[in-house]
């Protein structure tokens, strides 16, 4: 009896379920007349296909500039990726790169300077000068250094009139938020400093006649370095490798600690106290000025009196002379006439020391610019690249004629426009 009741309940339940399904199948779905149904779409930022790029490399006519922005090997890579490169005759001669090397790499050699400046993208190893302004094209992209010490407001205004997009490669940042070209040039300058000091300490160059190195039984040569940046670090490395006694001054304790950590050697370090600095300069053979300053003039920390108390025949190398110098007695010299005597002390005050090692410096610059150009082409131009790569915006001081560097706008009293707003308005 119990089994029959359970079977009856199950049969009744199944019957109700089948009836409900039949009713639901007969009913039509209700659609509201007030709105329509649409699929939701998501807008994606799709990168455009890579485009061909025409790059111009002029011969530098600026003072003491021997470097070239792209080496033949870098040009060969650009050509193989479908780009066009036009280079002026003998542009790489000072760096010992021949026209034949560029021609074999696939570049077009031209003898007319104006022909090079017709390229939409111009790559230079020296800043834009007044002689270049008439040759510039409207809406041109220029990649070059920016020397604040010689920059004029009239030059900026003329570039703004032509809607130029200007990128200073020394202010370009990489993915690690550092300045790759500045670091490379500083490494070259720091390593070269000790080679220069060793050369001018010899008796043939009216130096003290001492060897910049450690010899058993002889007190090591004393080297004073002002500044614990990249230049100071590599100068200290070279001096220590030769066996010299190194003492480093800097006002930042953090930079002094970082210097010791990077070298992996305990050094004599100190903040820049005038009395201590004057005492150490009296007994040193080499004094290197490697103080950096991002904006404005380098602070002058060594007075004329301090220099006059130095030993005759010792040498001063003022690496920061391109920003005014940190020795009061410093005066700009050239690669042809690099030194002068004052108070019996040899002064080496050549700006742009890496230009004296032009081939190495050119390769260092080219190693940064060539991948940048390839990446810009893949993104569809520099405007697209700047949109996707935020760290590159630090190097742009002109964007389609608008001044985007706040320091330059304050210095020359020109209108400033925020770069982020400009880029966003283009999207």
Assess whether 206 carries a catalytic annotation. no
Place of tokens 């021609």: 103
Cβ proximity of 283 and 306 under 8 Å = no
Place of tokens 């009741």: 5
Phi, psi (degrees; rounded to nearest 5) at 306: -60, -40
What is the spatial distance between Cα 40 and Cα 409, in angstroms, rounded to a whole number?
Answer: 46
Signed CA dihedral, 280, 282, 288, 294: sign only: positive
Q: Which of 54, 83, 89, 147 is flagged as catalytic?
A: 147
Classify strands 121-123 and 54-57 as parallel, antiparallel or unpaired: parallel
Of 243, 232, 251, the closest CA to residue 187 belongs to 232
Question: In angstroms, what CA-CA distances link 419 with 118, 119, 303, 400, 414?
Answer: 26, 24, 41, 10, 15
Cβ proximity of 69 and 366 under 8 Å = yes
What is the spatial distance between Cα 265 and Cα 424, in angstroms, rounded to a whole number?
Answer: 48
Token pair listed for 129:
């000068």
What is the spatial distance between Cα 271 and Cα 260, in angstroms, rounded to a whole number?
Answer: 14
Segment 243-252 long-range contacts (CB within 8 Å, at least 24 positions apart) = 243/213, 243/214, 243/215, 244/194, 244/212, 244/213, 244/214, 244/220, 244/286, 245/220, 245/221, 247/222, 247/223, 247/280, 247/284, 249/224, 249/225, 249/277, 249/280, 250/226, 252/228
Q: Report, as residue numbers or ranges, the catalytic residues.
A: 147
């Amino acid at each position: 009896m119990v089994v029959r009741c359970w079977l009856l309940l199950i049969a009744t339940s199944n019957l109700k379920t089948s009836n409900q399904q039949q009713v639901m199948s007969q009913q039509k779905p209700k659609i509201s007349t007030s709105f329509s149904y649409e699929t939701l779409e998501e807008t994606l930022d799709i990168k455009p296909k890579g485009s061909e790029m025409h790059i111009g490399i002029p011969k530098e006519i600026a003072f003491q500039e021997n470097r070239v922005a792209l080496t033949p090997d870098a040009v060969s890579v650009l050509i193989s990726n479908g780009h066009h490169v036009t280079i002026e005759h003998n542009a790489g001669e000072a760096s010992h790169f021949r026209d034949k090397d560029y021609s074999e790499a696939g570049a077009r050699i031209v003898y007319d300077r104006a022909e090079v400046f017709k390229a939409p993208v111009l790559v230079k190893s020296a800043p834009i000068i007044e002689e270049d302004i008439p040759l510039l094209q409207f809406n041109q992209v220029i990649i070059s250094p920016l020397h604040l010490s010689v920059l004029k407001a009239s030059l900026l205004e003329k570039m703004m009139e032509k809607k130029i997009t200007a990128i200073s490669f020394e202010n370009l940042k990489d993915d690690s938020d550092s300045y790759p070209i500045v670091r490379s040039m500083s490494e070259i300058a720091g390593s070269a400093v000790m080679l220069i000091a060793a050369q001018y300490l010899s008796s043939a160059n009216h130096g003290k006649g001492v060897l910049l190195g450690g010899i058993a039984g002889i007190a090591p040569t004393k080297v004073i370095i002002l500044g614990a940046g990249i230049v100071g670090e590599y100068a200290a490395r070279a001096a220590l490798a030769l066996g010299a006694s190194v003492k480093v001054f800097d006002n930042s304790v953090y930079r002094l600690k970082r210097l010791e950590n990077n070298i992996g050697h305990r050094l004599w370090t100190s903040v820049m106290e005038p009395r201590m600095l004057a005492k150490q300069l009296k007994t040193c053979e080499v004094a290197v000025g490697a103080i950096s300053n991002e904006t404005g003039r380098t602070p002058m920390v060594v007075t004329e009196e301090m220099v006059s108390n130095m030993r005759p025949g010792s040498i001063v190398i003022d690496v920061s002379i391109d920003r005014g110098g940190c020795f009061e007695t410093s005066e700009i010299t050239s690669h042809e006439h690099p030194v002068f005597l004052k108070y019996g002390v040899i002064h080496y005050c050549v700006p742009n020391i890496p230009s004296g090692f032009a081939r190495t410096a050119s390769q260092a610059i080219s190693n940064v610019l060539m991948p940048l150009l390839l990446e810009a082409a893949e993104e569809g131009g520099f405007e697209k690249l700047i949109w996707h790569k935020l760290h590159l915006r630090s190097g742009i001081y002109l964007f389609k004629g608008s001044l985007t560097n706040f320091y330059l706008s304050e210095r020359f009293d020109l209108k400033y426009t925020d770069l982020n707003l400009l880029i966003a308005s283009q999207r």
